[in-house]
Structure 1
Amino acid sequence: MKRALFASAALAALVPMPGHAGDKPATLDEVIVTAPRMEAPMVIETDPRNPRSPVPPADGAGYLKNIPGFNVVRQGSVDGDPVLRGQGGSRLDILLDGTPLLGGCPHRMDPPTSYIFPDSFDRLTVLKGPQSVVHGGGALGSVLIERQPPGFKDWGVKANASALYGSFDRNDEMVDLAAGASRGFLRMIGTHSSGGDYKDGNGSSLHSDYWRHSGTALLGWTPDPDTLIQVGIDRSQGQAAMPGKMMDATQLDREGLSVLVSKENITPVLAKVKAQAYHNYVDHIMDIYSLRYNWGGMATMNAATQVDHLMEGVKTAVELTPNDATRLTFGVDYNHDDHSSRSQSLAAYRAGTGLDATPRSRDISFDTWSGYGEAAHDLSATQRLAAGYRLTHVEATRHNSYPNLNDTRLLNTGFGRYEHDLPVLGVPATLFANLGHVERAPDYWERNKTTTVTTFNLNTEKTEQADVGALFRQGPWRGAGTLFYAYTSDYILVASGTAKTIDAARFGGEAELEYRFLPSWSVEGTLAYTHGDNLSEDRPLAQTPPLEGSVAVKYDDGAWLGGLHLRAVSRQDRIDQGWGNIMSTDMTQHSKGFAVLSANIGWRPLEALTLTGGVDNIFDQTYAEHISRTGIWTGGDLSQYNDNVRVNEPGRTFWMRGSVKF
């Protein structure tokens, strides 16, 4: 078995699920109610185009929220910031078709997931913990959002389209058309999403209207089945009102260009060679006047700020198979990161002087070189090993200080994992243990807290993390669980205008269980918990999410489907007032627990057509997530824009969705 890094195939062969009359073909859309399943150790893979309940926001973060261990910092209807086990920002890698993507806003108004339109992608994969060095070296988790080549064998056309409509003027459409033959293809994808101000359970309207659209073109040449040369072009635009911010995101523009060359099955030993060059650029404007009318008392603020972020680089990788039991991957990456900004004062705005009158000013740039090696080896038919090491050189330069500040780091990252298929209490299962070491240099948001050496030269963050867990599948039962412990020296905490380093410890885990009690009926449950401590100051670790669980009952006979979903979150009183991570440092209040019930129903009149609908937050609960942007304001009456404590989640929401593919 060459592809031994993931154990799902071995587990399926060891404990196959029995067929049921109600089992649906793999080509049919599954309505994901509780969460996507963990099918391999610490790996979750899902189709972002499958309908979900509760219906997610129209950005990438909303799709991650359904996965145990994830939370999302709500900032409005869209542009949520994802957090895995309490870790976000540069502690969580987000890769778009293999290329890194970052936002531009120094206040995280545009996290990378705000530029991701899930319906335009084919696969979303989450790697929990430091268990691979292929995708990066400084993160404690990775999110891979990818498109796959259409795979034509003869001349043909493939199409996929969906539309969603719901409460608060929610309106989403996606069209994906591909045409080609065995020698190549052209794929065009277009998306649109918009929504109005939503209401929370109290009936209060939150300043949260938005619109977004994107276009993608993929041109591929496949001279033989093992060769792919692909050029991809992305363009997206949008704007969003922000109830938990002092400004609104009046421009959210992104352009992307990627050139990929891949060759497989070159020799019995040389399995694959891959090279990719990419260009990602985001251009973001925030202001106080375009989308809100009450901005009196803001005399000390800028009227508008424009920031842009350029990310360009090259990635190369080689896969070797010296024997049937071993796969080796080696690669070299380079990335250039450049950030600039300009602002318009309130006086200039009132005088009619536009934002374009001010030249852009570079603030911080990064140049990152890295090389890595990763190996997966089958010890036997039931035992596997995986290990990897990445060496990274990071050079950061601050351009808006005098003299310029320079900082160079050499970072080491590595992991080792052991997997074993064996019976546990008579049930066939896969057990695994993973140990990782991660070193992370301070990122743009942490270095940019001040223009001084103090935050620019923060210490390197170093984490040792252990993950252990199990997966099993037998008869109508399926389950998975992971426990982790992480110790971090020089953990970076930020506050308004400053940052510091501490020693921190976190532990917790996630669990999921499914039981199919009738051919078309199943019940699913999930649980996630993270506990964090600031060891240096004997305090709770700031912005650690509370205990969370969910349970769902699902029905699917191939033609009709439906489900009920209950999500429950406990209160969180372990806070560190004034401190946090880069997502939100002003969120200092204790949070209340809540429980939310949602329901969905669907119909497949044809194999290619799926119609679904539902109601989320059936009892119109008023609640907010623990890690959420605050709406606290000190410069005037902006009560119509926020709830003065946290950005509440939407109240009762009705929705319907249709999708067709051929």
Structure 2
Amino acid sequence: MKRALGISLVVSTFLMAETGILETITVEGETFSKEVKDISGEELKSADLAEALSRQSSSITLIRGSGIANDIILRGQKRDNINILIDESKVYGGCPNRMDPAITHINADNIENVKIVEGPYDVEHFGTLSGLVVAETKTPSKEPSGEVNLGIGSYGYKKASASASGGNEYIRALFSASTEESDQYKDGNGDNFSDQINNAIAQGMGVAGNRYSKSDLEAYEKKTFMGKIFINPVENQEIRLGYTLNRSDNVLYPSRTMDADRDDSDIYTLGYSFYDLGTYSKELSLETYKSKVEHPMSTKNRVAGAMMYMTAKMDTEMEGAKLKNVVNLGGGELTYGIDVSKRNWDGESYMTTVATGASTTPTLSNTIPDVDTTNKAFFAHYEKNIDRFNIQMGTRYDDTTIKAHRAGQSLVQRYENDYDALSANAILTYKATDNVDYFIGLGKASRVPDARELYHPANSTAILDQVTNYEADLGFKTHYDGFGVKGKVFYSSLEDYIYYNADAKKYVNIDATIYGAELDAYYDISDTLTLNYGMSYLKGQKDEPLAGQSDKDLADIVPLRAVTSVTYHTGDHALKTEMVAAKRWSDVDSENGEQALSGYAVFNVKYNYKVTKHFDVTLGVDNLFDKTYATSNTYKDLTLLSYSGSDDTVMLINEPGRYLYANLRYTF
């Protein structure tokens, strides 16, 4: 079965390609970007944007940590190696162990489209090393409109959301709110989170104190709100005000040693744009934002916390501004501007006695030591069409200071680091015919270490260089009536790549290489039947093994993965069947905690019926055959439940088993 699955994936790779709907993948001016449309309308299972994207793009893989609040890998990259934005604002998670990654603070209910840029082809935003994910939220409309969604699913899942928008030519507003909750899901073996921990401990991973104190704890509760007001004081000006709130409570993370008491985030945005100002400005815009995240995590739900439990409270704040001007120049379009930002990351830990509620004095020496990351940058981008050629060039200069305001960390050797970097890229697209495009891209981009990599006392010395990505991409796109294919290969040379050495228990700089291929296709079999297919393949290697090790395999390099779907659509009915499949994950960095994962093929079905003009119902089944499988590996840059002996096995968390869901939607 495993061999047959691998062969079918390889063969299908050379026949067709990619997940989602290829019609949404654009080339003109955005050669290396994909656009996943109508997230809020299509992804009704939950508000987890990470899970939604892993179903819509074969190059994105889910990192499972819980029933919600999961992370992503994009073409073998995660954490700060990929940039996550909500519109033009940036939010970071507070947890050093990625229990609240940036993408979890963006609610899928509020997302209209998601733009995915693969590679170092973005110069407007700080930290785009190997990819950019921009969640574009809904915008207010002039006409009164809105919708109400009610959803239920397996394992006690309940969800309700509503939004309303309207205005006139001078002012428009949109308000959206949602609430959802779920019990612990069960995997294909029928085990919930508590059972999975118990099974792992029985096999020597973790200790008895890591067990949950109750087997039926709720997995999470989540509430969100988004408000936007757009004002047009005169015809060529627009003011944009926005606020996004996320409140997640009691989020269980079974493979970690703690759970999140809450994940609270607030994002404030203000934008002002001037249009058609004359020869020297086609558009002049100012974007400002501030985001704040509070993330206390504790052991109070574990057996070890029955009498006294530990809490680690992590806070992070981000504020930034970008001034950008667009002007016509030399038959093309020049975009240039300045970008500034500052992030603070701080933490404390303390113990609480259950009987009295009394807490000890906060301990500061074993957390992030009040670190500021301050960035100032200039960027420019130029695009021009010459006959059948589209030429794009971009550059960015960054000046970054990272300073820890608390000394006394056990391994840290210095408390201030300064970095500067010059990034650049060039993209050439050739339109061979009206139906065929060829493109090539060359890019260089850097990103600085974050506060955990530099200053966390358990695994940092503060002696790290910034990582630089030198990348080349080559591809083509064909598009005909009812049929389209897009293929791409890439090669990424990572200099001073920041990597976790499990033997030394610290982050180090290494040189590494990642290369791969992607293929995307759609085919309208008939007026009512559409086939979509997606594939991604990656290979990653360290140039040299880490000190004291022999394995050259790079962590987080997801194996050959494909997503195939067939959609039947006629009148008011739509039926989509989908297969998500991956080869066995055998090329792993075992010396740094990864383990081989079995290949899998999972089948999902979704049916939508438009009952009336304003009312529709969606029914779905994920993992139709109740398969037990895992997508997330165990690279030791995360602290997971593990056995401390020579076996050194780390707990895997399985994906949900058969999951049924229903959604009722009313629009006006």
Which range, TM-score by smaller chain?
0.7 to 0.9
Tell me if 1:591 matches 2:597. yes
Partner of 2:62: 72
From 256, 274, 297, give the equivalent of 1:263. 274
Tell me if 1:409 matches 2:416. no
From 278, 284, 305, give the equivalent of 2:312. 305
Tell me the SS of whatever aligns to 2:144.
Answer: strand
Tell me if 1:278 matches 2:303. no
Partner of 2:248: 238
Partner of 1:288: 299
Report the aligned-residue RMSD: 2.6
CA distance in 2, matches of 1:51, 1:504: 40
Tell me the SS of whatever aligns to 2:162.
Answer: strand
From 74, 79, 88, give the equivalent of 1:84. 74
CA distance in 2, matches of 1:49, 1:626: 23
Partner of 2:378: 371
CA distance in 2, matches of 1:355, 1:225: 59
Tell me the SS of whatever aligns to 1:134.
Answer: coil
Do 1:182 and 1:222's aligned partners in 2 also have CA atoms closer than 8 Å? yes
CA distance in 1, matches of 2:153, 2:71: 23
Map 1:540-579 to 2 at 5 A: 540-579=553-592
Partner of 1:457: 463
CA distance in 1, matches of 2:457, 2:494: 24
Partner of 1:12: none
CA distance in 1, matches of 2:295, 2:121: 33
The TM-score with structure 2 as length reference comes to 0.85
CA distance in 2, matches of 1:613, 1:195: 18
Partner of 1:176: 163
From 584, 607, 612, give the equivalent of 2:618. 612
Tell me the SS of whatever aligns to 2:270.
Answer: strand
CA distance in 2, matches of 1:206, 1:131: 40
Do 1:371 and 1:391's aligned partners in 2 also have CA atoms closer than 8 Å? yes
Sort the Cα spacing of 1:607 and 1:578 in 2 relative to 1 into closer, same or farther, 3 A: farther
Deviation at 1:350, TM superposition (A): 6.5
CA distance in 1, matches of 2:544, 2:290: 41
Deviation at 1:366, TM superposition (A): 0.8
Deviation at 1:166, TM superposition (A): 0.9
Partner of 1:29: none
Sort the Cα spacing of 1:224 and 1:47 in 2 relative to 1 into closer, same or farther, 3 A: farther
Tell me if 1:469 matches 2:475. yes
Which one-letter code corresponds to 2:79 in the other structure? Answer: G
Partner of 1:440: 447
Partner of 1:530: 538
Sort the Cα spacing of 1:110 and 1:272 in 2 relative to 1 into closer, same or farther, 3 A: same
CA distance in 1, matches of 2:329, 2:659: 55
Deviation at 1:151, TM superposition (A): 3.9
The TM-score with structure 1 as length reference comes to 0.86
From 241, 244, 254, give the equivalent of 2:265. 254
Deviation at 1:500, TM superposition (A): 1.2
Which one-letter code corresponds to 1:352 in the other structure? Answer: G
CA distance in 2, matches of 1:304, 1:512: 46
Deviation at 1:659, TM superposition (A): 2.7
Sort the Cα spacing of 1:298 and 1:392 in 2 relative to 1 into closer, same or farther, 3 A: farther
Which one-letter code corresponds to 1:439 in the other structure? Answer: S
Which one-letter code corresponds to 1:619 in the other structure? Answer: F
Partner of 1:192: 179
Partner of 2:51: 62
Name which of structure 1's ranges 493-502 and 514-523 shifts more when overlaid on structure 2.
493-502
Do 2:614 and 2:667's aligned partners in 1 also have CA atoms closer than 8 Å? yes
Name which of structure 1's ranges 439-448 and 564-573 shifts more when overlaid on structure 2.
439-448
Map 1:144-163 to 2 at 5 A: 144-152=134-142, 156-163=143-150
Deviation at 1:173, TM superposition (A): 2.1
CA distance in 2, matches of 1:270, 1:315: 16
Do 1:36 and 1:45's aligned partners in 2 also have CA atoms closer than 8 Å? no
Sort the Cα spacing of 1:127 and 1:184 in 2 relative to 1 into closer, same or farther, 3 A: same
Sort the Cα spacing of 1:34 and 1:318 in 2 relative to 1 into closer, same or farther, 3 A: closer
Partner of 2:9: none
Deviation at 1:63, TM superposition (A): 2.1
Map 1:291-440 to 2 at 5 A: 292-295=301-304, 303-322=310-329, 325-345=331-351, 352-354=357-359, 362-380=369-387, 382-402=388-408, 405-423=415-433, 428-440=435-447
Deviation at 1:567, TM superposition (A): 1.2
Deviation at 1:389, TM superposition (A): 0.4
From 224, 229, 237, give the equivalent of 1:227. 237
Which one-letter code corresponds to 2:290 in the other structure? Answer: H
Sort the Cα spacing of 1:200 and 1:414 in 2 relative to 1 into closer, same or farther, 3 A: same
In structure 1, list runs of 5 or more residues that go unmatched: 1-31, 580-585, 636-642
CA distance in 2, matches of 1:308, 1:630: 19
Deviation at 1:276, TM superposition (A): 1.6
Tell me if 1:515 matches 2:523. yes
CA distance in 2, matches of 1:361, 1:630: 16
Which digits, 9 at most, give the CA deviation of each residue in 1:488-536, with x for residues without a partner?
1111111454111111011102111111111010111111111000112
Partner of 1:9: none
Deviation at 1:234, TM superposition (A): 1.9
Do 2:603 and 2:624's aligned partners in 1 also have CA atoms closer than 8 Å? yes
Tell me if 1:486 matches 2:476. no
CA distance in 2, matches of 1:605, 1:569: 36
Sort the Cα spacing of 1:137 and 1:116 in 2 relative to 1 into closer, same or farther, 3 A: closer
Sort the Cα spacing of 1:397 and 1:223 in 2 relative to 1 into closer, same or farther, 3 A: same
Tell me the SS of whatever aligns to 2:392.
Answer: strand
Sort the Cα spacing of 1:216 and 1:556 in 2 relative to 1 into closer, same or farther, 3 A: same
Which digits, 9 at most, give the CA deviation of each residue in 1:598-649, with x for residues without a partner?
11111113344332111111110000014367863459xxxxxxx9731100
Partner of 1:215: 225
Which digits, 9 at most, give the CA deviation of each residue in 1:315-345, with x for residues without a partner?
111111135x411111111111111111113
Which one-letter code corresponds to 2:347 in the other structure? Answer: S
Do 1:552 and 1:564's aligned partners in 2 also have CA atoms closer than 8 Å? yes
Sort the Cα spacing of 1:138 and 1:124 in 2 relative to 1 into closer, same or farther, 3 A: closer
In structure 2, list runs of 5 or more residues that go unmatched: 1-18, 195-217, 546-550
- Give aligned pairs, total: 603
CA distance in 1, matches of 2:181, 2:360: 26
CA distance in 2, matches of 1:468, 1:37: 20
Partner of 1:21: none
Tell me if 1:645 matches 2:651. yes
Tell me the SS of whatever aligns to 2:595.
Answer: coil
Which digits, 9 at most, give the CA deviation of each residue in 1:447-476, with x for residues without a partner?
134378x64120121111011111211122
Which digits, 9 at most, give the CA deviation of each residue in 1:189-247, with x for residues without a partner?
11112111100000011257111111122122112343211221222211211111111
Sort the Cα spacing of 1:158 and 1:356 in 2 relative to 1 into closer, same or farther, 3 A: farther
CA distance in 2, matches of 1:159, 1:50: 13
Partner of 1:7: none
Do 2:144 and 2:165's aligned partners in 1 also have CA atoms closer than 8 Å? yes
Which one-letter code corresponds to 1:250 in the other structure? Answer: D
Partner of 2:189: 202
Name which of structure 1's ranges 393-402 and 250-259 shifts more when overlaid on structure 2.
393-402
Sort the Cα spacing of 1:469 and 1:298 in 2 relative to 1 into closer, same or farther, 3 A: farther
Which one-letter code corresponds to 1:562 in the other structure? Answer: L
CA distance in 1, matches of 2:523, 2:288: 45
Which one-letter code corresponds to 1:226 in the other structure? Answer: N
Partner of 2:102: 112
Do 2:177 and 2:223's aligned partners in 1 also have CA atoms closer than 8 Å? yes
Sort the Cα spacing of 1:314 and 1:486 in 2 relative to 1 into closer, same or farther, 3 A: same
Do 2:444 and 2:469's aligned partners in 1 also have CA atoms closer than 8 Å? yes
